[in-house]
Amino acid sequence: MIPASKKIRLILDLRQGGVLDTTLLAAMEKVPRDYFVPEAFRDRAYEDTALPISHGQTISQPLIVARMLAALDLNDRVKVLEIGTGSGYQTMILSHLCRRVYTIERHRPLLREAEARFEEMGRHNITTRAGDGALGWPEQRPFTHIVVCAAAPDIPPTLVEQLDIGGVMVVPVGDERREQRIFKVTRMETQIDVEDIGPVRFLPLVAGMPETDKLSRHAKG
Ligand code: SAH
């Protein structure tokens, strides 16, 4: 099958999976997932499955991306914070759905590869940062929407603080031993409202920067 028909098949699978938001499906149809996976997995790019990228990470499963972004309920006036850029696949979808995307990745080489893709695809509403996403992006707060692409041990309080009142964060919570669940967290005036969206399997949110990265920075500086 040629990529175009594989892509249409994937969009139909997402609809079958209960994703009915046409704006979201159209944005996902615009993004060539084969561009975000390593050469060796290119023929599987339109399967509804997570696939390995470098640094032991994965490109997220399209149905999970769709469910998480559907829960965010985005529009083209908002700015979004994404934690865990990875390949940049979800970032690219976000860039079609909102005004500006701020995205943080702890693996610098992964981020550089993602940035090259954004550049080549002519997306100019994405701002990137290499760092620990658990700390958020304080200079840009508040955000109306935050999406976390790695499993946190608990709802991260620092990220809740960077949400606007009425703002929404979608975050997988749990670890390898406990079942992970995706939570939709809405920040209210004095408390948070938490809705359980369902089970999921994500790699963990890791604190700090990778050792190799720290070393290379020391070497330079
Ligand atoms: N949405 C991405 C998913 C990548 S997997 C995609 O579809 O490609 C999750 C990513 O989160 C990994 O790249 C991992 O390095 C990153 N990550 C894990 N903990 C992090 C942290 N504390 N801060 C920033 N990024 C983190």
pLDDT digits (tens, 9 = 90+) for 110-144: 999 999 999 999 999 999 999 999 999 999 999 99
When comparing pLDDT for 215 and 28, which is higher?
28
Is the minimum distance from the CB of 107 to ligand 1 under 6 angstroms? yes
To test ligand 1's pocket by mutation, which of 205, 209, 213 has the most ligand atoms within 8 angstroms of CB?
A: 205
Residue 147 half-sphere exposure toward CB, CA atoms < 13 A: 25
Half-sphere exposure at residue 205, Cβ-oriented, CA atoms within 13 angstroms? 26
Evaluate: CB of 57 within 6 angstroms of ligand 1: yes
Is the Cβ atom of 103 under 6 angstroms away from ligand 1?
A: no
Which of 5, 54, 60, 216 is labelled catalytic? 60
Structural domains in the chain (count):
1
Q: Which residues contact 186 (CB under 8 A, 6 or more apart)?
A: 166, 167, 168, 192, 193, 194, 195
Q: Three-class SS string for the chain?
A: CCHHHHHHHHHHHHHHCCCCCHHHHHHHHHCCHHHCCCHHHHHHCCCCCCEECCCCCEECCHHHHHHHHHHHCCCCCCEEEEECCCCCHHHHHHHHHCCEEEEEECCHHHHHHHHHHHHHCCCCCEEEEECCHHHCCHHHCCEEEEEECCEECCCCHHHHHCEEEEEEEEEEECCCCCCEEEEEEEECCCCEEEEEEEEECCCECCCCCCHHHHHHHHHHC
Q: Which residue's C-alpha comes closest to atom 6 of ligand 1?
A: 59
Domain span including residue 211: 4-220
CATH number at residue 37: 3.40.50.150
pLDDT tens profile 166-199: 999 999 999 877 789 999 999 999 999 999 999 8
Per the DSSP assignment, residues forming a β-bridge with 168 are 145, 186
Q: Give me ligand 1 centre to Cα 1, in Å.
A: 31
For atom 4 of ligand 1, which residue has the closest CA? 86
Q: Which of 134, 122, 133, 62 minimizes the C-alpha distance to 95?
A: 122
This prediction has a pTM of 0.94
Model pLDDT, residue 214: 57
Residue 5 falls in the annotated catalytic set: no
